[in-house]
């Protein structure tokens, strides 16, 4: 196949904050040669409490910025923004770049593995109220009993405390909801939650699958790039991690989310 000169352009990733770094981390493992531009909208975090209209406005502006950085693919590494703004961002970007979200790859996984099963889902209030997973599961007639529950404080608590045992108190309350009992799998529909995956697993006394989208999404990005002849074969893996508001807490926690040393740079998108 002819080399595609666009292949050297970076992958753009964004989230409300540093939660999407869990996806960026998986992406680096699956696609070590790719250049990455990450944008965390820490000035507006958490998105889970914002209106869909506000999230759409943020998402379009961030996508515009990633386009200016010449990204070949824009990944919305946030369930809340994927639920509220994927269609709009896709329309805005048109054919200038590929746009992907974190929901479609999980729906594909559910389709392949969980027909006739009971699946629970936790996410922000905005994601759960959008009902997007249920709509997609029903549209495809997947015959999955999907019950969702908004665990709204979790993302902020994880940004504040990281993987700290104080989180167990919140989990005891949230995961005791009747909707989340006797399930075969639990979808972590927020990119912050992989950080506390083991705690969630430990909470359940009976075994269940915890569906963490980071690897699934990274694999989907790889497949998409391959199909479009856009894999970067010779890249030197240049990475930029921008945040719209810089604090030392974000800088410290970013290492936890990325699983590696990382330097955050302030990008004044809203100034
Ligand atoms: N990480 C985001 C998600 O996947 C949400 C966190 C927030 O409320 O900003 O939904």
Give me the residue spans of the domains in the chain: 9-101+215-266, 104-213
pLDDT value at residue 260:
80
The closest of 219, 234, 228, 223 to 1, measured between CA atoms, is: 228
Query: For residue range 94-136, what is the model confidence (pLDDT) as tens digits?
Result: 999 999 999 999 999 999 999 999 999 999 999 999 999 999 9
From residue 218, give the alpha-carbon distance in Å to each of 28, 100, 136.
8, 11, 21
Pocket test for ligand 1, best of 40, 80, 151 (most atoms within 8 A of CB): 80
Q: Which atom number of ligand 1 is nearest to the Cα of residue 80?
A: 10
40 CB under 6 A from ligand 1? no
What average pLDDT does the segment 170-189 reach? 97
Greater pLDDT, 131 or 248: 131
When mean pLDDT is compared across 21-25, 236-240, 258-262, the lowest value belongs to: 258-262
Q: 148 is written with which tokens?
A: 């969702």
pLDDT exceeds cutoff 70 at 81: yes
What average pLDDT does the segment 80-106 reach? 98
What average pLDDT does the segment 246-251 reach? 89
Contact between residue 136 and residue 165 where contact means Cβ atoms under 8 Å apart: no
The closest of 86, 173, 176, 189 to 134, measured between CA atoms, is: 189
Q: How confident is the model at residue 261 (pLDDT cuts 50, 70, 90)?
A: confident
Q: Which atom number of ligand 1 is nearest to the Cα of residue 78?
A: 4
What average pLDDT does the segment 72-78 reach? 98
pLDDT value at residue 234:
82
pLDDT value at residue 1:
61
Which overall architecture, per CATH, does domain 9-101+215-266 show? 3-Layer(aba) Sandwich (3.40)
Q: 95 is written with which tokens?
A: 């054919």
> For residues 111 and 107, what is the distance between their CA atoms, to the nearest angstrom?
6
Q: How confident is the model at residue 3 (pLDDT cuts 50, 70, 90)?
A: low
Contact between residue 48 and residue 249 where contact means Cβ atoms under 8 Å apart: no
Entry pTM? 0.96
Contact between residue 216 and residue 109 where contact means Cβ atoms under 8 Å apart: yes
Query: For residue range 219-232, what is the model confidence (pLDDT) as tens digits?
Result: 999 999 999 999 99
Residues identified as active-site:
78, 190
pLDDT exceeds cutoff 70 at 193: yes
Spacing, Cα 145 to ligand 1 middle (Å): 24
72 CB under 6 A from ligand 1? no
Pocket test for ligand 1, best of 50, 52, 191 (most atoms within 8 A of CB): 191
What average pLDDT does the segment 230-247 reach? 92
Query: For residue range 53-67, what is the model confidence (pLDDT) as tens digits?
Result: 999 999 999 999 999
The closest of 78, 68, 96 to 14, measured between CA atoms, is: 78
What CATH class has 104-213?
Answer: alpha beta
């Amino acid at each position: 196949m002819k080399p595609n000169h666009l292949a050297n352009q970076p992958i753009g990733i964004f989230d409300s904050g540093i939660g999407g770094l869990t996806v960026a981390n998986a992406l680096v493992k699956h696609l070590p040669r790719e250049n990455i531009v990450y944008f965390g909208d820490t000035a507006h975090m958490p998105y889970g409490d914002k209106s869909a209209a506000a999230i759409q406005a943020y998402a379009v502006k961030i996508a515009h910025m990633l386009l200016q950085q010449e990204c070949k693919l824009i990944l919305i590494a946030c369930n809340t923004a994927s639920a509220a703004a994927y269609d709009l961002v896709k329309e805005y970007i048109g054919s200038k770049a590929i746009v992907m979200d974190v929901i479609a790859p999980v729906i594909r996984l559910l389709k392949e593995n969980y027909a006739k099963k009971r699946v629970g889902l936790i996410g922000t209030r905005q994601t759960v109220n959008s009902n997007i997973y249920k709509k997609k599961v029903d549209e495809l007639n997947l015959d999955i009993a999907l019950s969702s529950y908004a665990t709204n404080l979790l993302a902020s608590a994880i940004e504040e405390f990281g993987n700290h045992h104080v989180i167990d108190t919140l989990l005891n309350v949230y995961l005791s909801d009747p909707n989340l009992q006797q399930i075969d799998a639990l979808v972590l529909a927020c990119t912050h939650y992989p950080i506390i995956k083991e705690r969630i697993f430990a909470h359940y006394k009976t075994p269940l699958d915890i569906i963490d989208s980071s690897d699934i999404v990274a694999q989907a990005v790889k497949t998409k790039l391959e199909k479009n002849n856009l894999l970067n074969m010779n890249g030197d893996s240049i990475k930029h991690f921008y945040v719209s508001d810089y604090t030392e807490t974000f800088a410290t926690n970013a290492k936890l989310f990325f699983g590696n040393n990382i330097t955050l740079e302030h990008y004044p998108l809203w100034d």
